Amino acid sequence: MEISYKWLQEFIELPELPEEVGKLLTATGLEVEGIERIDAIPGGLEGVVIGQVLTCVKHPDANKLSLTTVDVGTDQPLPIVCGAPNVAAGQKVVVALVGATLHPVSAEGGIAQPFQIKKAKIRGQASEGMICAEDEIGLGTSHAGIMVLDTDLPNGTPAARYFHLEADYQIAIGLTPNRIDAASHYGTARDLKALLNRPLRLPSVDAFVVDNTSLTLDVQVDDTAACPRYAGLTISGLTVGESPDWLKRRLVSIGLNPINNIVDVTNFVCHDLGQPLHAFDAAKIAGRQVIVKTLPAGTPFITLDNVERKLTATDLMICDAEKPMCIAGVFGGQYSGVSAQTTSIFLESAYFSPTSIRKTAQHHSLKTDASFLFERGIDPNITVFALKRAALLIQQVAGGIISSDITDIYPNPIDPFRVLVRYRNIDRLIGVKIDHTEIHQILEALDIQSEQPDGDDSFVAIVPPYRVDVTREADVIEEILRIYGLDNIPLSKNLAADSLSEFPKTDPDQWQSRVGQLMAANGFYEILTLSLTRPAYNDAIRSSLPGDDVKLLNPLSDELSVMRQTLLFSALETLVYNLNRRQKDLKTFEFGKTYHKVKLDDNTPKYVERMRLSLAIIGNQTPESWLQKGQPVAYHDLAAAVQRVLNLFRIKSFDTQPADPTLFQYGLAYVVNKKPLVSLGLVNSKLIKLVDLKQPVFYADFDWQALLKLATGKTRYEEVAKFPEVRRDLSLVLDKAVTFEQISKLARQTERKLLRFINVFDIYEGENLGAGKKAYSVSFMLQDTVQTLTDVTIDKTMQRLMTAFEQELGAVIRK
């Protein structure tokens, strides 16, 4: 919901700045999501003031120019060279100061190119400003001469104040469905009235007079359950046309487009008081009858958007003697609305059942400002007041006379809600004891009367019908609290939220269980293997081992005489065992310990145990079927599994380096804090042969203890981006030795703020690139968290990246 700051000031005195008003509204529960400045004209006449010409003489070197001095309220008058033929001493004029940006209007009425006022010398004479014509400041198309004002305003007064063009501010409120009472400027002002203890200024309707009854219509309501209250009157002799500027500015300030003076008034009152209205062309109402009723299911009706809709048996319609004219409270009809030829109208103001309106709006997929209000429940007691307010405004902007009495059909008035409230529950739920007098002052400011307020234990709250959300004791207490102020409630030692415990220490067993569940969910089988292994296995990878073997003093066999220093061979032997039994497509994981010993400075041995996590995959990623051939596992299948584990630990940033060639034919090691966290890749073919395995195996080895150190129980949140991403692609010709990791690292070092993601989507090698060259096609995703990226910013960013690639990596950029 959008609220205009200046419009709000018509209901209540608000010396506070828009930002302060936003904080006040948020404190009452009307959360302000944003505040945007709205200028009546482009630029808002910023830097344009009222001035007075003190002297005016002809320019010595130009017959059509004049040298003036102008008082603009500063210590010294400004010298300004002026080319207008009508400039003269003593005039009050409009002056654009140095630094002001003007948004002129072209001769055709369009917006011309803006320009900034600068200090200048014109034919050798200093000029420090500009005396303006109306087209130069965007107020018209005339350029016959400067604007000469008739005003007593002091020099230096902003011109926007003289022309009543001060900037407005659009306050966006995230209105919750239960607070429909605040879905208007009047409703929002009611909350501020209660919070600030200031009086409201309701518009007066005392001038409303029925001129005659020459156009009286017969109004009847057949379905009083769906339409508890229906009011209307006629206005004759009006002229449909463009709305005055003040009315158009009000609508534009909340994002509405002006249509014509009649429709604009109904929209204005809707957002002014929260009462939707509808105007019918009285000449199109057959039989001078208005009937509120339902029609048979399947009845066709063409709405304002020129769509024929089939009505349901529960759709409430506004009809004349012959035909339906409007879907009540939802959408007007094509043939009964106001047009340029309209000279008389029937103006409707009603209270419709929320349930009825919601059913109809949902069925026809129609969401309008009127249905939004009606289906949540508006104030049934403001119906006639809003009707008079709209009638007076229509007379003001379109002329005409009131040509009928007000018809007000309200057979069963809606009673206020009566809620029993106990003082002890107020104290208990709010957490502090509030003086009873203050409680009733708050409720009275919210238009909630109290019956028996002097009772020792309780009272009855009389809640007006427009507060559809206040029907229980807890609701009344919430009203007291939001005006009393959450900030005024001291923190309680008894509230758990006041003393949040620290996050528990990392539990290795819980993390092991979570990873195990993750692996199992992705098709991996857990294996448990011996910690004893063959000495030949350790010998084959001796250069990569962290220490000496731990040998058994009394081994059962030479084949199992040392402790393992890696889980790799345990995984390979398990794969061989299963392959020999026709299990070809395998994915395994294992939690296990490795063992080695190192010598301390005094040559005494130190035995080291380390927990590891291993993953291994072999065979096909997808089984063979009639739909597709079996797809062999690849490096990226293993990398995806590794990434899932890292995501579980919320590890997003790491460096990479080539994996140990002793263990891997190719692969990567992910490094955190300069220590390998996980190594993954295709197992070296020499090691495959060592266990008599004839298929390629992809293997990953995690340092489990390092993983646990990086684990955190804290959930990290970040706001969903409000501004769009922008993608740009580059083709880089590089030496074959340059890796994508180098490209990615350099890109992130060069652009830390806007670069969100970098990806290589194609690699090409060919003779036309030259010997030892390859081409990377790389995409860059750019995004700013505070504003939409402009082409200028994007181009500058990409230029910095290209320069870095050329200078640091010797890249050739292909367009």
Please report, in range form, the residues annotated as the binding site: 469, 475, 478-479
Pairwise CA distance, residues 153 & 717, whole Å: 54
Helix (H, G, I), strand (E, B) or coil at 738: coil
Q: Which two structure tokens, joined as six digits, stand for 300?
A: 């066709």
> Binding site residues for Mg(2+), as ranges?
469, 475, 478-479
Contacts of 629 by beta carbon, 8 Å cutoff, 6+ apart: none
Distance CA 37, CA 313 (A): 47
C-alpha span between 547 and 531 (Å, rounded): 16
Q: Length of the chain, please?
A: 815
Tell me the C-alpha distance between 14 and 11, whole Å. 9
Contact 344, 279 (CB under 8 A): no
Contact 82, 68 (CB under 8 A): yes
User: How many whole angstroms separate alpha carbon 101 and alpha carbon 43?
Assistant: 7
Q: Is 75 exposed, middle or buried (0-12, 13-18, 19+ CB in 10 A)?
A: exposed
DSSP 89: T
Contact 279, 338 (CB under 8 A): yes
How many whole angstroms separate alpha carbon 90 and alpha carbon 690?
105
State how far the Cα of 326 lies from the Cα of 227, in Å rounded to an integer: 14
Stated as kind and residue range, the H or E segment containing 792 is helix 791-809
Q: Which distant-in-sequence residues (6+ apart) come within 8 Å of 35 by Cβ?
A: 18, 19, 22, 169, 170, 171, 172
Please give the Cα distance from 472 to 461 (Å, whole number). Answer: 10
CA gap 130, 197 in Å, rounded: 46
Tokens, residue 657: 């380096």
Reduce the secondary structure of 326-364 to three states and give it as a string.
Answer: EECCCEEECCCCCCCCCCEEEEEEEECCHHHHHHHHHHH
CA–CA distance, 216 with 287 (Å, rounded to integer): 11
Rounded Cα–Cα distance for residues 157 and 146 (Å)? 18
